[in-house]
A = this chain, B = another copy of it.
Amino acid sequence: MAEGNKVTLHGSWLSLYTKRVELALKTKGIPFEFVEADLNNKSPLLLKYNPVHKKVPVLVRNGKPILSHSGSVLEYIDETWKTGPGLLPEDPYERARVRFWASFVHQQVFESLSLACRSDGEVQEKAIKELLEKLKTFEEGMKEFFPDSIDSIERTKNLGLLDIVLYSGFGAHKVPEEVLGTKIIDPEKTPLIFSWLTALNELPLVKELTPPHEKLVAVLQFFRNNALKCGAA
């Protein structure tokens, strides 16, 4: 019976999507076992749980896998464990607003960053320009959410879906900034996002989750070199 209630997360230390699920579980105070997947030699168990995408993260509860796709695992966590703070607000209109912006960060803003990281020359230049424009759009949108400044203590109490998605994509913004040699989260151009990320990165829960800067720089540099070699962009 104890086995039935076990929560296991199959993930990887370098997967941004794994970080999301970890942060959501920890925010809710849900105990879980973490299984570090070998991405070069995926285990039969991981392939059994996720035959469609063969990817981490996979959350397993009561022996049943919950597959990750566009934040659906975060919604599952929020719906399953009602204790702890809600990742989404109660009101349907506010929920829709949070989902819209989370999706904007995930699909639009992060996509431009990802393209910038795997390209060079004109393609990279265009991707960085679009990235900065989208961050500005996000900044403007967020002014409605946060009429006052971002308070790190306040955020500790109310970590939600949008914080988690923003952190997973841009928490370690200094990593692509170093690899690409350009400022991405600029305190002058997008002060609200800059303060927000600074506040998030100060939280003990977040610090604990974030791998050392140098290790992430090495990983991103490795991915970037590979992508450029294969013409992935």
Whether B69 lies near A100 (C-beta < 8 A) is yes
CB distance from A65 to the nearest CB of B (A): 10
Whether A96 lies near B70 (C-beta < 8 A) is no
Q: Check A29 for interface membership: any CB of B closer than 8 A.
A: no
In the complex, A100→B66 CA distance in Å?
9
Whether B137 lies near A104 (C-beta < 8 A) is no
State which residues 73-90 of A face B: CB under 8 Å: 73, 75-76, 79-80
CB distance from A2 to the nearest CB of B (A): 19
Q: Check A67 for interface membership: any CB of B closer than 8 A.
A: yes
Interface range, A side: 20 to 34
Chain B positions within 8 Å of A104 at CB level = 52, 69
| Chain B residue with the shortest CB-CB distance to A72 | B99
In the complex, A137→B72 CA distance in Å?
19
| Chain B residue with the shortest CB-CB distance to A64 | B93
Whether B52 lies near A141 (C-beta < 8 A) is yes
State which residues 82-130 of A face B: CB under 8 Å: 92-93, 95-96, 99-100, 103-104, 107
Whether B52 lies near A72 (C-beta < 8 A) is no
Contact flag A103-B52 (CB < 8 Å), given A64-B93, A76-B95, A92-B80 = no
CB distance from A50 to the nearest CB of B (A): 10
In the complex, A102→B137 CA distance in Å?
28
In the complex, A92→B70 CA distance in Å?
16
